[in-house]
């Protein structure tokens, strides 16, 4: 069926078309929700805007990760601006309101909240220590009276947590990021917390120390392990967790490492580290817009350029007994010490930054010209300059010793890339050196890039249990945002292409993010409606939520897109009350049986606008 049946947001679909659901007529009385509709399978779905709560705080992550309590009709939202949880009354979905703010100061002075998860009257809270490299905490809160029931120490920087489907375990991803100067680098880990009702029974740590002696093998397989003086356990940084339906296995996103870890839950053991590989932007259908200054939409293929999937949020679902992993391929660079001028002046002990514009990486004059500006001292210590392989990049003008037009702003020059990967190495992993004219020379001072690594894949992907790629959305996100079909705003009245790849923190910023990670897919939630499974992917920069039917993992298809940013021109910081929603971060799906109005919902935390938005998932049923 044609999906152009979408109607203006704020108007409920007449679901009675199928004679099955009359729930939308009861929205005006949230105290008496309609009886749950039968579990029917929709022909299609669309999103419509219901309401939002605004913290009134711009650009300080005042709304990040949401969780929903169907019993008390509460939304819990991580407010990173004050390191706490905003508790919202969601009885009136059109006007959610703040009940109170819940802090974790009684757990540890200066502690801040990173994430939340809900199950059966329990709110699990990930709490980071005041010094982020110290061990953090997992806390259980009674959602009826918001009292703390129990807590335990976990690893450094607990960043995300989730209950297993059977409710027996709480799993915590301890990211273990380094200090800003990289002088302290905690080990990443996953805490496996066994629960008995509302109490913690035991805590075990699934770490990566067993992989320390496999460092080179992991690197050879494609796992990015590159922190200065870091062991494998220190370098791997768990970001997000997805769990199989049988509660036996979990997959952990290792974002900066471009890999997934596989966790046996019962034994609290990491059984494997699975590289995700790289997306070839030289292949038809995998194009990107690589320039933010050319003033046009220019999605094209770039041979020699690959994208690092670098998933942020991940989720799992089952089809015919097999588990599949859905990833939002955001991309994320290691950039520590970037605000410390001593680092840029050449003191490598003050941090580690892996990102650089291609035009500054491959310049005939070498690296010295950028010292004190944006030249990472670790790169400068590696060589005096860098070249492009003319056999790969000849199509944009590279020749022996010369980058040619490849570094021009309207080609690849503006693209933000990683200098860590792609240069030629010998069998021992050492750089192969060249002279400034591109001739191999052991006494030379240049390195040569055979491949360029960009951050993120500007897509979402589906993987099997062993991280084999089943399907990727290729360049569909950017192509859709550039199309005449795409409209933004709650009323879908603004052409997306007019603000293609805009930044979430600025007005009138057409094409601003093309040189970086494009629309930057970050959050993902999965919802099942009848026999169909849908993926809801939040786009951090362009904003909004894009929906795919993923019922067939091998053949997902686009369903809808809703972006409730309303003002694309004025400065959002000075027009916050009217700008709408900026910077989709975390998403949670609410089933119809749990919803205050009897309709399935999607709740989105928008970190830049500091707003928590509520979308209704409108279902269209066949006659």
Alpha helix segments (H runs only) across 5-45: none
Cα separations in angstroms, 289 against 293, 392, 511: 11, 19, 9
| Domain CATH code at residue 470 | 2.130.10.10
pLDDT at 432: 98
Residue 32 has pLDDT above 70, yes or no: no
Cα separations in angstroms, 284 against 299, 306, 323, 474, 585: 11, 13, 29, 9, 30
pLDDT at 623: 80
Q: How many domains does the structure of the chain reveal? A: 2
And the tokens for 181? 């100067």
Give mean pLDDT, residues 501-519: 97
Strands (DSSP E) contained in 66-167 are: 66-69, 74-79, 84-89, 97-102, 112-119, 122-128, 135-142, 148-156, 158-163
Residues 195, 116 share a domain: yes
The string of pLDDT tens digits covering residues 367-392 is 999 999 999 999 999 999 999 999 99
Give mean pLDDT, residues 578-582: 97
Residues 143, 84 share a domain: yes
| Beta-bridge mates of residue 275 | 259
Give mean pLDDT, residues 305-314: 98
Last residue of a domain, one of 438, 454, 470: 454
Contact in structure between 291 and 302 (CB atoms under 8 Å): no
- The whole-angstrom separation of Cα 36 and Cα 595 is 9
pLDDT at 113: 97
Residues 435, 520 share a domain: no
Residues 375, 233 share a domain: no
- The whole-angstrom separation of Cα 410 and Cα 245 is 47
Where residue 31 falls among pLDDT bands split at 50, 70, 90?
Answer: low
What is the overall mean pLDDT for the chain?
94
Where residue 8 falls among pLDDT bands split at 50, 70, 90?
Answer: very low
Residues 611, 575 share a domain: yes
- The whole-angstrom separation of Cα 189 and Cα 376 is 28
| Beta-bridge mates of residue 597 | none
pLDDT at 37: 52
Give mean pLDDT, residues 392-420: 97
And the tokens for 444? 């030379």
Residues 429, 575 share a domain: no
291 in a domain, yes or no? no
295 in a domain, yes or no? no
Domain that holds residue 378: 340-454
Contact in structure between 511 and 286 (CB atoms under 8 Å): no
The string of pLDDT tens digits covering residues 433-456 is 999 999 999 999 999 999 999 999
- The whole-angstrom separation of Cα 523 and Cα 528 is 17
The string of pLDDT tens digits covering residues 482-497 is 999 999 999 999 999 9
Residues 171, 24 share a domain: yes
Which residue has tokens 């930044």?
503
The pLDDT > 90 percentage for the chain reads: 93
| Beta-bridge mates of residue 534 | 527, 549
Residue 362 has pLDDT above 50, yes or no: yes
261 in a domain, yes or no? yes
Give mean pLDDT, residues 340-363: 97
Residue 27 has pLDDT above 80, yes or no: no
The string of pLDDT tens digits covering residues 142-170 is 999 999 999 999 999 999 999 999 999 99
Residue 59 has pLDDT above 80, yes or no: yes
* C-alpha gyration radius of the chain: 24
Residue 579 has pLDDT above 70, yes or no: yes
């Amino acid at each position: 069926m044609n999906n152009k049946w979408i109607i203006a947001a704020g108007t409920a679909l007449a679901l009675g078309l199928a004679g099955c659901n009359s729930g939308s007529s009861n929205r005006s009385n949230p105290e008496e929700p309609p009886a749950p509709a039968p579990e029917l399978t929709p022909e299609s779905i669309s999103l419509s805007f219901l309401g939002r709560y605004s913290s009134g705080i711009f650009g300080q992550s005042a709304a990040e990760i949401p969780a929903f309590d169907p019993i008390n009709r509460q939304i819990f939202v991580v407010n990173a601006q004050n390191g706490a949880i905003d508790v919202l009354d969601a009885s009136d979905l059109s006007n959610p309101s703040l009940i109170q703010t819940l802090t974790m100061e009684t757990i540890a002075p200066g502690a801040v909240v990173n994430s939340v998860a809900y199950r059966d009257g329990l709110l699990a809270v990930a709490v980071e220590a005041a010094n982020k490299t110290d061990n953090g905490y997992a806390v259980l809160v009674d959602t009826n009276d918001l009292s703390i029931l129990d807590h335990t120490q976990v690893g450094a920087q607990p960043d995300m947590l989730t209950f297993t489907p059977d409710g027996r375990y709480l799993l915590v991803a301890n990211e273990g990021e380094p200090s800003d100067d990289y002088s302290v680098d905690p080990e990443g880990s996953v805490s496996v917390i066994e629960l008995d009702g509302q109490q913690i029974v035991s805590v075990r740590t699934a770490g990566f120390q067993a992989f320390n002696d496999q460092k080179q093998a992991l690197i050879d397989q494609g796992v990015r392990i590159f922190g200065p003086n870091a062991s494998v356990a220190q370098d791997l940084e768990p970001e997000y967790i997805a769990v199989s339906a049988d509660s036996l296995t979990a997959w952990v996103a290792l974002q900066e490492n471009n890999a997934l870890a596989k966790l046996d839950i019962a034994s609290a053991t990491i059984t494997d580290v699975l590289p995700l590989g790289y997306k070839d932007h030289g292949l038809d259908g995998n194009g990107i817009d690589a320039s933010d200054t050319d003033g046009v939409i220019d999605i094209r293929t770039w041979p020699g350029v690959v994208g690092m999937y670098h998933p942020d949020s991940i989720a799992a679902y089952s089809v015919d007994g097999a588990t599949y992993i859905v990833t939002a391929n955001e991309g994320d660079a290691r950039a520590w010490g970037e605000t410390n001028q001593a680092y840029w002046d050449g003191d490598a002990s003050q941090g580690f930054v892996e990102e650089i514009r291609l035009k500054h990486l491959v310049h005939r004059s070498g690296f010295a010209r950028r010292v004190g500006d944006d030249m990472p001292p670790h790169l400068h210590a590696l060589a005096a300059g860098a070249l492009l392989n003319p056999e790969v990049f000849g199509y944009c003008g590279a020749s022996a010793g010369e980058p040619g037009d490849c570094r021009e702003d309207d080609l690849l020059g503006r693209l933000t890339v990683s200098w860590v990967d792609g240069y030629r190495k010998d069998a021992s992993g050492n750089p192969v050196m060249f002279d400034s004219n591109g001739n191999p020379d052991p006494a030379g001072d240049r390195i040569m890039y055979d491949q360029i690594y960009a951050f993120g894949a500007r897509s979402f992907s589906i993987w099997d249990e062993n991280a084999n790629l089943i399907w990727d959305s290729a360049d569909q996100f950017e192509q859709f945002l550039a199309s005449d079909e795409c409209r933004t705003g709650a009323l879908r009245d603004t052409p997306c292409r007019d603000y293609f790849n805009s930044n979430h923190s600025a007005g009138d910023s057409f094409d601003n993010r093309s040189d970086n990670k494009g629309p930057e897919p970050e959050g993902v939630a999965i919802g099942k409606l009848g026999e169909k499974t849908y993926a809801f992917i939040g786009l951090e920069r362009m904003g909004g939520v894009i929906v795919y039917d993923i019922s067939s993992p091998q053949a997902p298809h686009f369903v809808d897109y809703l972006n409730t940013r309303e003002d694309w021109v004025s400065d959002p910081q000075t027009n916050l009350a009217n700008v709408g929603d900026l910077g989709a971060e975390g998403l949670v799906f609410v089933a119809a049986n749990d919803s205050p109005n009897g309709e399935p919902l999607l709740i989105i935390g928008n970190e830049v606008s500091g707003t928590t938005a509520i979308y209704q998932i409108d279902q269209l049923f066949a006659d």
